[in-house]
Structures are given as structure tokens and as C-alpha cells.
Amino acid sequence: MSFTDEVHREVTLAEPVVGERETAAVAAVIEDGMLADGPEVRAFEDEFAAFCDAEHAVGVANGTAALHAALIGLGVGPGDTVVTTPLSFIATANAARLVGADVAFADVDPDTGNVDPHAVDAQLREHDDAAAVVAVHLYGHPADMDALQDVTDAHGVPLVEDAAQAHGARYRGDPVGAIGDVGCFSFYPTKNVTTGEGGMVVTDRDDVRTRVERFVNHGRTADGNFAHVGHNFRMTSLAAAMGRVQLERLPDFLEARREHAAGLTDVLADTPIVAPTVAPEVDHAWHQYTVQHDDRDDLAEALAAVGVQTGVYYPRAIHQEAPYRSDGRDAPIARGLTDRVLSLPVHPALSRDDRQVLHAAIADYAAEH
């Protein structure tokens, strides 16, 4: 009998690691009574900016709000085009539509799934109304920021980092988020840092910081007047208190994720399952450990049969979704990856037994195929 034949709890794909410290921090805010946009938010913003080596950080309600506010902060609006990747959660493209801009999709690198700088350059040459490029650090692997900055600088457009999956990732030693003009993070429960819901905008640009701060607070200025129409995208003090603890714990979370990822990579050696590519110049945050396999669905079914959860991120490229089909364009590499990718458990809450079950299941599958 193999290890995977034994009775064992389900090996979860994602599991927030939240404990007594987070509970105590939230309870302190409740006792204090400053539940909304209070001192905890300002403290979290300062600490997160320092973590990203950024001048400024603005806490917001969620990751989508961060993307929306970032584009507003850059002055993107109706009549503009935003160039981005088709291989991401749909919020990346939706943020452009929400500010009134059109979206142009640049295809991706077949190994990392990150947007291809050459494809970005081609889209910028085609769209003289392009006002921003949004690059996603997919699965926690930083995009090719040097090449992307060369392209965006040449065309005179700002570069936005969608770092919703990349807390703690680094590119050539620099934290992601403040490498481009502005960076956006999500604190959804499955992310490397969670506040339940929440997000952060980071930037070194004073003008972007000012516009973002106003936009997420109804357009309110420092003197209490209203300069323009805005949203209520503010972060709560409850979320910020939790986020401050999570940020302190992030180095331990990252160490566990990297250890688990290394174990999976060892197990996948000499199997038909393709382990994730990691460029030598990056430190991967391992939000997802995403493999490629010709018969992805068969692999997922085999792992499910022994209690291992998996996920497909993403089953369709964004340009295949109803709101984005109208221009008839294709991104064949991204579309092809949606048929091959499968994410395996890599989160910090995995126990030793969890990893044994996962590794044995992969070894058993590879031996039979």
C-alpha cells in the first residue's frame, strides 16, 4: 500500500495562515473604536512602502480597487488604450475598462506565462493612443522588468506592476511593486499576505500618490474640499491591523513556500510534468506552483482521487471572455497555456504529511504515465 492509499485529510490548494497575533491586533482596533480609515491604515501604508522600497503606499479596499486607482493616478481615461496580458485574472483588464479605456492584449512568454516585452512593443506601435502598460507578475514570478521598462520608456508610457500575486518577489534584487511607475497588490485570503479583502498602491511618484489618495476617498483634498468625483475605496483599520501582522510574518511564509516549491521541483525531475521556469534574475514568491502537462485534466483527476486539490489559473485567457471577444484578436500562446497549466499546493500551511501525500501522488502518476 502506498502512502496515498492511507486515510489523510485533503491537501488544500490554498489555506490562509491566520492566528492569535492577527486576532489580537484586530481585537485591539475594535476596542479602540477607530474602525475605518484610522492610524492603523497609515502605519500599514508606511510599513508596506518600506517593504517595497517605495516612497509612498496607499491602502485600498481590494486589489481591483488598487488597479483602478493606479490608472486614475496616472491620468488614464476615455480615449486611451491600456496594453496588458491576456493571462491573468480578469480584474487586470477590467480596471482599464472601469476608467473608460480600451484594452489591447500582448501575448505571453511560453515558459513563465508573463507578458512578452516584444509583444508589448508591437501593441504600442499599433496603438498610438496607448497610455499605460500593465504587467502582471504571474504566479509570483516577476515579469521581465528591464525589457519592459526599455519598451515603455521608448514609447513614453508608464509601466504598472500588477503584483497581486507577488508579495515578496524580487527582480534583480529589487522588490516588485516600485520598479515601474506604480504597483498594485491584493490582500485576498489566498494571497501571500491577507487582510481578508484589501489592497495597496505603491509608487515613488508624488503626483500619482496624491491622485490615488483623493480618488479612493471621494476626491477629497487635504483641506477637506472635493476636487473631483471619486470612490469610497478606503481600507479599514481592521484590515490594516491584520495586514501589519501578516507583513511581519511574510518572510517566514516565503521561506515555507520556497521550501515546498523546491521539494515539488525535485519530485518532478525526469517526469513528463513540466516544472515552473524560474529566471535566474528573480526571486519567485511562489503564490502558485504552476506546472504544465499535455494531459492536464487527467493529472488533476488523478491527484483529486487521492485528496489533493489543484487549480487551473486560468481556464480561459481574458480575450476569450465575453467582455473582450469583440475585437476578434487572438493571443495563441496564452490560449495554449490555458489548456496545459495546473497549480499544485505550495502554501505555508502544508504539513509534512501533506507534502508526503502530494509528492507520492505525483510520483505514482509519473510512474504510470
Considering the domain architecture, whether residues 272 and 172 belong to the same structural domain is answered as no
Considering the domain architecture, whether residues 236 and 282 belong to the same structural domain is answered as no
**Of the residues 223, 245, 267, the one at which a domain ends:** 245
- Among 24-28, 144-148, 328-332, the minimum mean pLDDT is found in 328-332
Considering the domain architecture, whether residues 240 and 277 belong to the same structural domain is answered as no
What length does the chain have?
Answer: 369
* Burial degree of 12 (CB within 10 A; 0-12, 13-18, 19+): middle
Tell me which H or E stretch contains 203.
Answer: strand 199-203
Confidence of residue 9 (pLDDT cuts 50, 70, 90): confident
Classify the C-alpha dihedral 222-238-88-263 as positive or negative: positive
* Burial degree of 270 (CB within 10 A; 0-12, 13-18, 19+): exposed
The mean pLDDT value of the chain amounts to: 96
Q: Tell me how far apart the alpha carbons of residues 2 and 365 are, in angstroms, rounded to a whole number.
A: 12
The pLDDT score that the predictor gives to residue 5 is: 46
Rg (CA), the chain: 21
Considering the domain architecture, whether residues 52 and 159 belong to the same structural domain is answered as yes
Considering the domain architecture, whether residues 228 and 296 belong to the same structural domain is answered as no
Q: Is residue 15 part of a domain?
A: no
The pLDDT score that the predictor gives to residue 240 is: 98
Write the Ramachandran bin of 52: left for phi over 0, alpha for psi from -120 to 50, otherwise beta.
alpha
Considering the domain architecture, whether residues 313 and 290 belong to the same structural domain is answered as yes
Above 50 in pLDDT, residue 2? no
What are the φ and ψ backbone dihedral angles of 15, each rounded to 5 degrees? Answer: -155, 110
pLDDT tens by residue, 129-172: 999 999 999 999 999 999 999 999 999 999 999 999 999 999 99
Q: Is residue 31 part of a domain?
A: yes
**Of the residues 245, 273, 305, the one at which a domain ends:** 245
Considering the domain architecture, whether residues 360 and 235 belong to the same structural domain is answered as no
Give the CATH number, domain containing residue 296: 3.90.1150.10
**Residue 201 CA: distances (Å) to CA of 51, 178, 194, 282:** 13, 9, 15, 22
The pLDDT score that the predictor gives to residue 1 is: 32
Considering the domain architecture, whether residues 195 and 282 belong to the same structural domain is answered as no
Considering the domain architecture, whether residues 254 and 239 belong to the same structural domain is answered as no
Which is nearest to 138 in space by CA: 318, 362, 363?
318
DSSP classification of residue 322: G
Q: Tell me how far apart the alpha carbons of residues 115 and 257 are, in angstroms, rounded to a whole number.
A: 24
Above 60 in pLDDT, residue 56? yes
pLDDT tens by residue, 65-91: 999 999 999 999 999 999 999 999 999
Q: Is residue 274 part of a domain?
A: yes
Q: Is residue 268 part of a domain?
A: yes
Provide mean pLDDT across the span 284-302: 98
Considering the domain architecture, whether residues 226 and 308 belong to the same structural domain is answered as no
Q: How many domains does the chain have?
A: 2
Considering the domain architecture, whether residues 95 and 208 belong to the same structural domain is answered as yes
Q: Is residue 47 part of a domain?
A: yes
Q: Is residue 12 part of a domain?
A: no
Q: Which residues contact residue 38 at a Cβ distance below 8 angstroms, ignoring those fewer than 6 apart?
A: 29, 32, 237
Above 80 in pLDDT, residue 352? yes
**Residue 96 CA: distances (Å) to CA of 60, 82, 147, 155, 235:** 17, 6, 23, 19, 21
Above 50 in pLDDT, residue 348? yes
Confidence of residue 327 (pLDDT cuts 50, 70, 90): confident
Q: Is residue 2 part of a domain?
A: no
| End-to-end alpha carbon distance in the chain | 19
**Of the residues 219, 245, 271, the one at which a domain ends:** 245
Q: Range of 66's domain?
A: 20-245
pTM of the model: 0.96
HSE-CB of 39 using CA atoms within 13 angstroms: 7
The pLDDT score that the predictor gives to residue 8 is: 58
The grid coordinates of residue 268 equal 518532478
Tell me which H or E stretch contains 94.
Answer: helix 91-98
The pLDDT score that the predictor gives to residue 328 is: 75
Q: Is residue 92 part of a domain?
A: yes
Considering the domain architecture, whether residues 214 and 346 belong to the same structural domain is answered as no
The pLDDT score that the predictor gives to residue 45 is: 98
Q: Tell me how far apart the alpha carbons of residues 268 and 277 are, in angstroms, rounded to a whole number.
A: 12
Angle (nearest 5°) at CA 52 between 231 and 188: 50
Above 70 in pLDDT, residue 7? no
Above 90 in pLDDT, residue 349? yes
